[in-house]
Structure 1
Amino acid sequence: MPGFRSLDTELTGHDLPVEGELPGWLSGTLLRNGPGKFDGGESRLRHWFDGLAMIRKYEFDDGAVTYSNRFLRTDAYDDATAGRPTGQFATDRRGLGKLLGWLKRLGPPEPTDNANVHVARLDGEYVAQTEVPRWVRFTDDLDTAGSFEFADDLDMDMITAHLVADPAGGHVGHGLSFGRTHEYTFFEIPPDSRRREEITSIRTDSPAYIHSIGVSEEHLVLVETPLRINILRALSPFTEGFFELLEWDDELDTRFVVIDRASGETVANQSVDPFFTFHTINAYDDGDGVVLDLVAFEDATIVDALALDTLAEEGFAAAPPGRLVRVRLGTDGSVSRRRLYDGGIELPTVRADRQTRPYRYVYGQSTDREGANGLVKVDTERETATEFWQRDLYVEEPWMVPRPGGEAADDGAVLAPALDVEAERSVLLVLDAATLEELARAPVPHHNPFGFHGRFFSE
């Protein structure tokens, strides 16, 4: 499948042809991050998450769109193109050198700077993010500008690539540090700052892999699933990457820890039957509790299913579907759960100004159908869904852009990169956010491997 085939082409300011009509009000930049290359010399990387970071840029102005794409020039890029891919999620060929790095630091060796997961704008700079603290700056022209350094002394071995942009200003995130005792750390980054201000830390004897957390106006929600990190396994020179440290513990439940953002105090700690999640969608307060929406999987099979060998043989058919689940966590210790959409969903987003607040619509990649990935809009109030599908078209993470001056919660446009696997060519879809009717599409002159996350930055 071309979605897992390397791309070598880089373009700058390429005018895309438009089929249909782009909204005249649409102005700004969609930045996308994800893998662009899956091999290094004679070596094939092992997992989708290992692909070398490539930034894609779609710039909208006056009914037109230009496209640029460029690899991040990092140490990981140099190593892989020299035929020695190192330090990736599931690919690490350092052998004894990795063990010596652990012993020298009394902790994990230098992590990868292959920042291929997400993007943010921090302290006036574009930043490419991954799940270890080696983020990379890049310019408006997508040139790599060196490492991004925080102006604080917080020391974490892992850090979320899913910073929550709070509409009130700033960002909220979490990290994990390893030691004799391990700690989850929660922090805020004020507007126009690169200083993380710690909210609180929680100790754990058995750290879990946590991709994202829930953030409401008043609370944080940690979702600790049974997918745990076996730190001792990292001491083996035969362990290839972080992937092989992960193990599902059937004896554990999934735990929700609710934290007061102002005080850092834990206000609820509840467990439910085990499930796994990559992505929390949104959270909001409802008086005496927190409502949290997320994508739930029965277990962590999804992580193994995204290995490149498995995808080459079975495609996305090997990946179990995630379900949109609403969890209500009462401060009295009560927990309730219900499914809001019967189809499969992943890579969910909500409009930026409703993050941390009550909201109505989720936009996401619709899965669980053979031969394509669609796009779905879920109405969380009516618990109904609208879907967009086209045969052989694999839609990626959508981003809803509100129309300036629009009053309805779904008045705007949805931007969604997609890959036509039959034509082996990518296309940017622009859909009506209310109906998911296609307004326009802009074909890209090459295929883009399947990406992960992005954001729209208004001008």
Structure 2
Amino acid sequence: MEGRLPVWLRGSLLLNGPALWDLPQASYRHWFDGLAMLHRVQFDEGRVSYRSRFLQTEDYRRSIASSAPAFAAFDTRDPESFLERLKHFGKPRVTDNAAVVMSRIGDRWFATTEGPLLVGFDPETLQTRPTLALEDDLGVQLMAAHGITDSKGSYWNVGVTLGPKCAYKLFRLQPGARRRELIGQVRLPKPGYTHAFAMTPRHALVWETALRAQPLGFLLTGRSYIHNFKWDPVHGSMLHAVSVGDGSVRSWEVPPMVAFHAIQAYEQGDETVLELIVYDDPEIMDALLLERLRSGAPLGVTPRLMRYRLRARGEVTMENFGQGLELPQVHPARWARAKATVAWGTLLGNPSSPFFDATERIDLASGERRSWRRGTAVQLEPLFVPRPGADNEDDGVLLVPTLADGDVGSMIAVLDAETMECLAMVKAPQVIPFGYHAAWAG
């Protein structure tokens, strides 16, 4: 370690992401495809320790045993033949390779992807625990990777039902329960690609992208996940607000877009405001193919920061307030609860860069931006950890995994979240493969 850690920084940085793309007999095609590995960086009174484990899922075990992908992945076809798929006609196999997000339900931790499964794990040992056996008939085939845990430990998420009648279904799962409570639903012909959603104290905000599902493709073919979606700009996109009180739905039409993440949502007077990171088309999906990433070619896609002000009678105004930011963070006490005034994220600072190369703080009111770079290193999602007892929204640190050519292992920067000054640099004993999302277990 270089520098000095804050004395109050005690807990675990948990990381999730793919770590194995190439098997002896075949390889995956996309960054999103790889087999999941969990990582734990433990901070304790100035000392740091590290461990990692592959998530021991059915997909992992069968893929390792067969030396080739055993399930369909984001951009890798199902290896089963047509006759094999007929054995489970209408109910296709779903991967449990939960390589995207980690969420807490009560005091239990689960890893998720965009499938409907919640894969358990121990946040200290990283040992895989059983997938949660749900005992309801909610009937969802897909689910947003990003669930939201409220102050009571209940887990909220949006599932997607595919078939002749499709729907987004907002549900809640209380700690210790096995039955999801249906809170409200949005019925629609073809749901859009859904990676996340946002909440205010009164509403869940679901963005219906113009990259729309082809339900029969999911149910009948062996196509990869993303190839069961089709770009449909003619019908634009929609924003839906589902009331957490009575399940009622209000919707707004917006120009066609694709989006993974929201910065936040909040309510202000008679407006519901959604701050969303959007792409004008689905080119970002192809930009993250492994062949392209490994070539070192420029990423070539820049997201925009859009603020949607949603009013009664379908009225919506849009404000473009920046570009380049992804994988956003706000103070955890503000997310889904109150308006945040500061956000952080990873940034594509140089248009010719093959990947994100900076970490940025943005004042959401004034637009002021402050950046930190570690040379030409790739910089992944910054996790904000607030200082215990702090009053200011940006009083804390950012933990930023980085990797540069020549590094023996990944280096985790500890930044002052207000000034963006680097306080310390922790050197991991191995390369932590590029992943997506982090969590803090205090």
TM-score by length of 1: 0.90
Please list, as runs of the form range in 1=range in 2, the aligned pairs for 1:348-387 lying within 5 A after superposition: 348-356=328-336, 357-369=338-350, 370-371=352-353, 373-387=357-371
Please list, as runs of the form range in 1=range in 2, the aligned pairs for 1:322-333 lying within 5 A after superposition: 322-333=303-314
Letter in 1 for 2:432: N
> Quick one: which of 248, 251, 255 aligns to 2:234?
251
Q: CA deviation at 1:169?
A: 4.5
Structure 2 partner of 1:174: 158
> Quick one: which of 13, 21, 24 aligns to 2:4?
21
Alpha-carbon distance in structure 1 between the residues aligned to 2:118 and 2:77: 19
Alpha-carbon distance in structure 1 between the residues aligned to 2:239 and 2:218: 27
Q: CA deviation at 1:123?
A: 3.8
Structure 2 partner of 1:38: 21
Alpha-carbon distance in structure 2 between the residues aligned to 1:64 and 1:194: 39
Q: CA deviation at 1:228?
A: 0.9
Cα deviations by residue, 1:324-364 (Å, 9 ceiling, x for unpaired): 221111134221111222x4011111111101211111110
Letter in 1 for 2:311: G
Q: CA deviation at 1:191?
A: 4.5
Letter in 1 for 2:332: A
Residues 30 and 150 of structure 1: CA distance in aligned 2, closer, same or farther (over 3 Å): farther
1:309 counterpart SS class: helix
Matched, 1:345 2:325: yes
Please list, as runs of the form range in 1=range in 2, the aligned pairs for 1:23-102 lying within 5 A after superposition: 23-81=6-64, 82-85=66-69, 86-97=71-82, 100-101=84-85
Cα deviations by residue, 1:71-117 (Å, 9 ceiling, x for unpaired): 011121122223230221111342425x653x444424110011101
Structure 1 partner of 2:127: 143
- Does the aligned pair in 2 maintain the 1:167–1:353 contact within 8 Å? no
- Does the aligned pair in 2 maintain the 1:36–1:53 contact within 8 Å? yes
> Quick one: which of 79, 83, 97 aligns to 1:114?
97
Alpha-carbon distance in structure 2 between the residues aligned to 1:424 and 1:339: 40
TM-score by length of 2: 0.93
Structure 2 partner of 1:417: 401
Alpha-carbon distance in structure 2 between the residues aligned to 1:215 and 1:288: 16
* Structure 2 spans left out of the alignment, 5+ residues: none
Alpha-carbon distance in structure 1 between the residues aligned to 2:74 and 2:347: 25
Across the two proteins, how many residue pairs are aligned to each other?
Answer: 435
Matched, 1:308 2:296: no
- Does the aligned pair in 2 maintain the 1:39–1:80 contact within 8 Å? no
Which ranges of 4 or more aligned residues in structure 1 deviate by more than 4 Å? Answer: 103-106, 191-194, 234-237
- Does the aligned pair in 1 maintain the 2:184–2:243 contact within 8 Å? no
Letter in 2 for 1:257: H
> Quick one: which of 263, 273, 280 aligns to 1:281?
263
Residues 53 and 319 of structure 1: CA distance in aligned 2, closer, same or farther (over 3 Å): farther
Letter in 2 for 1:312: R
Letter in 1 for 2:30: H
Structure 1 partner of 2:420: 436
Alpha-carbon distance in structure 2 between the residues aligned to 1:148 and 1:53: 18
Alpha-carbon distance in structure 2 between the residues aligned to 1:339 and 1:127: 35
Residues 232 and 162 of structure 1: CA distance in aligned 2, closer, same or farther (over 3 Å): same
Alpha-carbon distance in structure 2 between the residues aligned to 1:435 and 1:130: 34
Q: Percentage identity across aligned positions?
A: 34
2:399 counterpart SS class: strand
Residues 181 and 297 of structure 1: CA distance in aligned 2, closer, same or farther (over 3 Å): same
1:44 counterpart SS class: coil
Residues 215 and 176 of structure 1: CA distance in aligned 2, closer, same or farther (over 3 Å): same
Superposition RMSD on alpha carbons, in Å?
A: 1.9
Cα deviations by residue, 1:167-213 (Å, 9 ceiling, x for unpaired): 46523210101122112100122355454211112222112111111
Alpha-carbon distance in structure 2 between the residues aligned to 1:435 and 1:150: 45
Alpha-carbon distance in structure 2 between the residues aligned to 1:169 and 1:136: 17
> Quick one: which of 185, 189, 192 aligns to 2:169?
185
1:78 counterpart SS class: helix
1:445 counterpart SS class: coil
Alpha-carbon distance in structure 2 between the residues aligned to 1:108 and 1:50: 21
Structure 2 partner of 1:199: 183
Alpha-carbon distance in structure 1 between the residues aligned to 2:112 and 2:58: 15
Residues 336 and 422 of structure 1: CA distance in aligned 2, closer, same or farther (over 3 Å): farther
- Does the aligned pair in 1 maintain the 2:161–2:167 contact within 8 Å? yes
Letter in 2 for 1:355: W
1:278 counterpart SS class: strand
1:199 counterpart SS class: strand
Structure 1 partner of 2:384: 400
Cα deviations by residue, 1:386-436 (Å, 9 ceiling, x for unpaired): 111122211111111111121111111111111123325311111001011
1:77 counterpart SS class: helix
